[in-house]
């Protein structure tokens, strides 16, 4: 009978089947046929495959019990000659998908974040010297420059020798040079751990030794590096970086706001002799390609990046560092919803390497882990070189009201600013609100301008003369007349944004040079960098900014900091409102007097508040961080809130309000009946409409002993959700909008 088996069947039986996880919104790996003549690729190999009507990148995934090949099986299109994704990273992807209830392929997509990395290397052309006995005088300089035998580009040679590109062509024709194609070296290939070591203080040295030891041990450990701003935390964790480099390992440093990290990069360069590789959303495709390949091949040693850098394909990480570990920017709120600090701990665990969490104001979650002995705690209690922390004063706005509702600075802050300017020092006014005014209303009819797509007021941006929404991209020209009653001149701004504060400063100090820095500038790195340079060069007297200026900058002349509205973050129903406000204001305060001119001038900070007795204000003024954290912890424990329970948010959204609410109710109706969880809602989200989508929220409070992912998966599986409605799950939510 065998003789009758058709040829195609025989052929099919011999085709090897490979399981491939596509980097796409799919939940599992699929079977693909191996092209004829290809060797079976090992798990982790990068490939390109057809998926529906597209082609996508993917990774060969663990193969267990693959079904036999059928004729319909599609073939792998390309197998890439790159080191495969490590087993620990594949496990990381698995676990992250599982923890966040995200599709596996969507998680992989965060790793395959540089599609250009799979293009074949183009290379650049360069000249190399050929051996010649008789060298004419005019060629000597070029030949001397290329003496070592290395190839150099036209640009390099002309810059170094002053010869023309034309002359190089002549030398090529006359066989003095040859032209070859070279590939440019990946970024941060040879950082030198011994280069710019600076003498550490005894306290710093003790901490640095402990960190280096954990790097040498090459096993999982998690350490909180806890020290006031300016205590030398960066200097100290550079020693852990140096140790990893000595072990020929790779290093990843996560920063919350990479766009602003110029000063950091300069320091790194001084310490290690070369710039680190950068990873953030504003890189060009070519830069992404270059760095991604450098990381994947192990040649790039140190990456400094935003949260997305956590997913780069490092084959040999030696240590992971999360600077400003408390920063909310580590939470990704779109697509795969995850917390990069927590997932960094997971990755370190799976890679069996140490991780260092760094902060002057650790999150309560992290402190809880310290208190329970899961994390090591290393402290740097004092500012380096005996510099003093700034004095923080509470300004009770009930007693120091500005003259009218169009002014926002108290007499105390005005005087302090005046004094700083007289001393030729800088002042900083902090207000976490972009634009001119957060609300515009008509004084004749009371009309308030709202976004047509979101449940949010429109913010006036006066220099652009627009009203715009901070939750979607809606904007319109500032109206001349009220669209409801038709009155002209009746529109009034309510409340301040940074632009309005700038106007007030201009009024009080007409000769001062003012710089407004807001987070909408962070999209344009060059504009921002230029502004920061002007500040450092003291071409600016008063800096007015949103949270963008709270982080990491060293402004040596800054001695007076005013927080315009210290109560701002305390509004709204955010569980962490108090904690977040503390972190932010503490960080802003830390900008003052960092490298103050005289050691006895530590800088001053003024908190304008209507709630001077609030625990946040009291703790900030008293410098009582630990007491504050303990009080906050006690409150959370009493309320059965994280870190003493686990929260998950279910956000149900859709374009039809009734249908959306109905699904939210159905989900609530089939909630598991167990004492281990409590479900709040559904309630309209505080932002009940964004981009024309209605949003309802359910908040799930679960005991930590419960496997919440398993529970949620089972629970949500019971409701049939129509395509017009989306249910997204946010495990450990940070934002409650
Ligand atoms: P942190 O990260 O805790 O805010 P940094 O590492 O940025 O602290 O240090 C604050 C300032 O003190 C920096 O300008 C740094 O260069 C300087 N500094 C810290 N430690 C030392 C040291 N051992 N020797 C010289 N300068 C130091
Ligand atoms: Zn009106
Ligand atoms: Zn909007």
- Report how far residue 621's alpha carbon sits from residue 392's, in angstroms, rounded to the nearest whole number: 5
Say if domain 646-731 classifies as CATH 3.30.70.600: yes
Mutate to test the pocket of ligand 1, among 196, 232, 553 (most ligand atoms within 8 A of CB): 232
Q: What is the pLDDT of residue 331?
A: 94
Hey, whose CA ends up nearest to atom 6 of ligand 1? 232
CA triple 734-303-110, angle to 5 deg: 50
Q: What is the pLDDT of residue 723?
A: 93
Q: Record the tokens describing residue 147, joined without a space.
A: 């003496």
Say if domain 202-385 classifies as CATH 3.40.50.1820: no
pLDDT tens for 310-341 read: 999 999 999 999 999 999 899 999 899 999 99
The ligand whose atoms approach the alpha carbon of 486 most closely is 2
Q: What is the pLDDT of residue 7?
A: 46
CA triple 364-370-375, angle to 5 deg: 120
Exposure of 646 in the CB half-sphere (CA atoms within 13 A): 17
Q: What is the pLDDT of residue 70?
A: 63
pLDDT tens for 464-506 read: 999 999 988 899 999 999 999 999 999 999 999 999 999 999 9
CA of 681 to the centre of ligand 3 (A): 24
The parts of the chain modelled with pLDDT lower than 50 are 1-7, 9-10, 12, 596-600
CATH of domain 387-434+497-635: 3.40.50.300
pTM above 0.85, yes or no: yes
The ligand whose atoms approach the alpha carbon of 443 most closely is 2
CA of 480 to the centre of ligand 2 (A): 11
> Which regions of 518-576 does DSSP assign to beta strands (E)?
542-545, 558-563
Q: Which residues line ligand 1 (CB under 6 A)?
A: 198-201, 204, 227, 229-235, 384
- Report how far residue 500's alpha carbon sits from residue 494's, in angstroms, rounded to the nearest whole number: 10
Q: Closest Cα to residue 464, out of 476, 481, 455, 480? A: 476
CA of 230 to the centre of ligand 1 (A): 6
609 in Cβ contact with 619 (< 8 Å): no
Hey, whose CA ends up nearest to atom 22 of ligand 1? 200
Hey, whose CA ends up nearest to atom 15 of ligand 1? 232
The ligand whose atoms approach the alpha carbon of 385 most closely is 1
Q: What is the pLDDT of residue 10?
A: 44
Instruction: Please state whether the peptide bond connecting residue 603 to the residue before it is cis, i.e. omega within 30 degrees of 0.
Output: no
Pairing of strands 124-129, 177-182: antiparallel
Hey, whose CA ends up nearest to atom 17 of ligand 1? 232
Assign a CATH topology to domain 7-87: GIY-YIG endonuclease (3.40.1440)
CA of 476 to the centre of ligand 3 (A): 11
Q: What is the pLDDT of residue 332?
A: 94
Closest-lying ligand 1 atom to the alpha carbon of residue 552 = 4
399 in Cβ contact with 252 (< 8 Å): no
Hey, whose CA ends up nearest to atom 14 of ligand 1? 230
CA of 445 to the centre of ligand 2 (A): 4
Question: Which residues have their alpha-adjacent CB atom under 5 A from ion ligand 3?
Answer: 451, 453-454, 469, 471-472, 474
Cβ neighbour number for residue 404 with a 10 Å cutoff: 6
CA of 457 to the centre of ligand 3 (A): 8
Q: What is the pLDDT of residue 182?
A: 79
The ligand whose atoms approach the alpha carbon of 487 most closely is 2
CA of 481 to the centre of ligand 2 (A): 8
For 730, phi then psi, to 5°, come to -120, 105
The ligand whose atoms approach the alpha carbon of 469 most closely is 3
Q: What is the pLDDT of residue 696?
A: 95
Contacts of 724 (CB under 8 A, 6+ apart): 654, 655, 656, 659
Q: Closest Cα to residue 67, out of 118, 16, 105, 112? A: 16
Long-range pairs for 470-476 at CB < 8 Å and ≥24 separation? 470/434, 470/435, 471/687, 471/690, 471/691, 472/690, 472/691
Closest-lying ligand 1 atom to the alpha carbon of residue 554 = 14
Closest-lying ligand 1 atom to the alpha carbon of residue 229 = 4
Q: What is the pLDDT of residue 5?
A: 45
Q: What is the pLDDT of residue 628?
A: 92
Closest-lying ligand 1 atom to the alpha carbon of residue 387 = 12
């Amino acid at each position: 009978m065998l003789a009758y088996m058709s040829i195609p069947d025989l052929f099919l039986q011999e085709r090897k089947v490979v399981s491939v996880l596509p980097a796409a919104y799919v939940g599992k790996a699929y079977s693909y046929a191996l092209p004829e003549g290809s060797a079976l690729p090992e798990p982790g190999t990068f490939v390109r495959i057809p998926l529906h009507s597209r082609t996508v990148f993917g990774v060969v995934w663990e193969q267990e019990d693959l079904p036999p090949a059928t004729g319909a099986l599609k073939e792998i299109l390309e197998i890439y000659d790159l080191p495969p994704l490590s087993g620990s990273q594949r496990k990381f992807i698995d676990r992250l998908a599982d923890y966040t209830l995200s599709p596996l392929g969507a998680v992989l997509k965060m790793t395959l974040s540089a599609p250009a990395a799979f293009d074949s290397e183009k290379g650049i052309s360069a000249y190399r010297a050929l051996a010649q006995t008789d060298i004419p005088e005019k060629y000597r300089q070029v030949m001397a420059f290329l003496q070592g035998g290395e190839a150099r580009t036209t640009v390099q040679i002309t810059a170094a020798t002053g010869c023309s590109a034309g002359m190089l062509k002549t030398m090529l024709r006359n066989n003095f040079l040859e032209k070859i194609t070279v590939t440019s070296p990946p970024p941060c290939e040879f950082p030198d751990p011994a280069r710019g070591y600076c003498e550490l203080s005894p306290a710093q040295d003790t901490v640095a030794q402990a960190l280096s030891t954990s790097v040498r041990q090459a096993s999982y450990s998690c350490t909180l590096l806890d020290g006031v701003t300016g205590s030398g935390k960066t200097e100290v964790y550079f020693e852990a970086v140096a140790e990893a480099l000595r072990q020929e390992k790779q290093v990843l440093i996560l920063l919350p706001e990479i766009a602003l990290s110029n000063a950091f990069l300069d320091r790194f360069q001084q310490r290690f002799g070369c710039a680190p590789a950068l990873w953030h959303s504003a890189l060009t495709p070519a830069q992404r390609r270059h760095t991604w390949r450098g990381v994947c091949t192990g040649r790039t040693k140190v990456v400094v990046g935003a949260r997305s850098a956590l997913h780069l394909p490092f084959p040999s990480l030696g240590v992971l560092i999360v600077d400003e570990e408390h920063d909310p920017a580590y939470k990704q709120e779109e697509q795969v919803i995850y917390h990069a600090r927590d997932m960094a701990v997971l990755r370190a665990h799976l890679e069996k390497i140490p991780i260092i969490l760094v902060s002057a104001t650790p999150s309560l979650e992290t402190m809880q882990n310290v208190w329970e002995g899961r994390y090591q705690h290393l402290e740097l209690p004092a500012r380096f070189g005996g510099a003093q922390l700034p004095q923080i004063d509470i300004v009770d706005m009930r007693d120091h009201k500005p003259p009218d509702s169009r002014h926002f600075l108290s007499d105390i802050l005005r005087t302090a600013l005046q004094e700083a300017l007289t001393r030729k020092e800088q002042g900083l006014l902090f207000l976490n609100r972009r634009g001119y005014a957060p609300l515009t209303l008509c004084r004749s009819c009371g009309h308030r301008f709202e976004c047509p797509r979101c449940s949010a007021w429109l913010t006036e941006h006066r220099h652009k003369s627009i009203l715009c929404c901070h939750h979607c991209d809606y904007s319109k020209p500032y109206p001349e007349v009220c669209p409801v009653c038709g009155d002209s001149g009746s529109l009034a701004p309510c409340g301040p944004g940074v632009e309005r504060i700038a106007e007030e400063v201009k009024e009080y100090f007409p000769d001062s040079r003012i710089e407004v820095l807001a987070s909408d500038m962070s999209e344009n790195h060059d504009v921002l960098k230029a502004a920061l340079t002007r500040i450092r060069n003291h071409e600016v007297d008063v800096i007015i900014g949103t949270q963008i200026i709270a982080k990491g900058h060293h402004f040596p002349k800054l001695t007076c900091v005013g927080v315009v509205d210290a109560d701002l973050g305390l509004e709204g129903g955010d569980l962490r409102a108090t904690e977040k406000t503390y972190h932010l204001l503490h960080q802003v305060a830390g900008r003052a007097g960092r490298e103050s001119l005289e050691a006895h001038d530590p800088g001053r900070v003024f908190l304008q508040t209507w709630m001077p007795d609030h625990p946040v204000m009291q703790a900030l003024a008293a410098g009582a961080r630990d007491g504050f954290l303990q009080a906050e912890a006690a409150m959370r424990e009493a309320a059965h809130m994280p870190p003493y329970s686990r929260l998950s948010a279910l956000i149900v959204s859709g374009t039809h309000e009734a249908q959306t609410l109905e699904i939210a109710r159905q989900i609530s109706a089939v909630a598991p009946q167990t004492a281990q969880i409590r479900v709040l809602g559904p309630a309209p989200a505080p932002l009940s409409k964004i981009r024309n989508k209605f949003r309802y929220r359910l908040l799930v409070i679960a005991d930590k002993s419960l496997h919440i992912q398993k529970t949620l998966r089972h629970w949500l599986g019971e409701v049939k959700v129509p395509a017009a409605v989306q249910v997204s799950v946010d495990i450990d939510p940070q934002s409650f909008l």
